[in-house]
Amino acid sequence: MSEAIPFEPIQVRLATLGDVLVMSRCHTRSIRKAYKDFIAPSDLAIFTEDETSVRIAAQIEHGDKVLVALAEGHVIGHARWAEVEADYWPYQVLVQTLFIDPDHQGRRAGSALLGECAFGAQSNGHAGMMIGAFVDNLPASEWYVRLGARLIERAPLTVGSNEYLSAFFAFDDLSGLRERLRPSGTSE
């Protein structure tokens, strides 16, 4: 008898305008859970579903590289990556958002999305990429380091009326990152 698979595999595709409301809900729920211990409630209040919906829709309409993770046909997370012009950073690719609905964390949706970002960066000729997180968002920062990222910069970021410290990490080996993100027992 074979071991049961706990979840249907995660699928990743480009986001559409039809995904925006679910993405917005996922985004705001994730932020409120992940940031509640270190961002002031008044600053968290600026992250509304309406504001997030408008921003995500504009990114999709603009043609940004916005991805969604699906489980059982439902959007459970999203990511956005872009090529950036920043001569002081080692790479010109930045994963700008990576959010998973709190009810679906632990299902490898973040791994699937980050892997697709790495694939997109490699496909566009980039050797590495960067990602950011608040310094106090230890689960995210520690995950990036476990995946082989190195800290390249800490910088203040204003959210609402307060300033918080953010950290930027570099993934120097996208092939290695994609291999580490792949579920055991699978291949490309």
Query: What's the pLDDT score for residue 91?
Result: 86
Q: What is the mean pLDDT of the chain?
A: 91
Domain boundaries, the chain: 11-181
Residue 117 in this model has a pLDDT that exceeds 80 = yes
Amino acid at 155: A
- pLDDT tens digits, 148-166: 999 999 999 999 999 999 9
Q: How confident is the model at residue 187 (pLDDT cuts 50, 70, 90)?
A: low
Q: How confident is the model at residue 172 (pLDDT cuts 50, 70, 90)?
A: very high
**Beta strand spans in 51-144 (E):** 65-71, 74-83, 93-100, 129-134
Query: What's the pLDDT score for residue 7?
Result: 52
Residue 176 in this model has a pLDDT that exceeds 80 = yes
Query: What's the pLDDT score for residue 90?
Result: 83
Is residue 31 a contact partner of residue 164, using CB atoms and an 8 Å limit? no
Residue 116 in this model has a pLDDT that exceeds 80 = yes
Residue 1 in this model has a pLDDT that exceeds 70 = no
Is residue 170 a contact partner of residue 94, using CB atoms and an 8 Å limit? no
Tokens, residue 85: 């012009």
- pLDDT tens digits, 46-102: 999 999 999 999 999 999 999 999 999 999 999 999 998 877 788 889 999 999 999
Average the pLDDT over 173-183 and give the result.
91
CATH of span 11-181: 3.40.630.30
Average the pLDDT over 1-17 and give the result.
72
Closest CA to 77 of 141, 154, 140: 140
- 20 vs 66: CA distance, rounded Å: 11
Query: What's the pLDDT score for residue 5?
Result: 42
Q: What percentage of the chain exceeds 90 in pLDDT? A: 86
Query: What's the pLDDT score for residue 186?
Result: 56
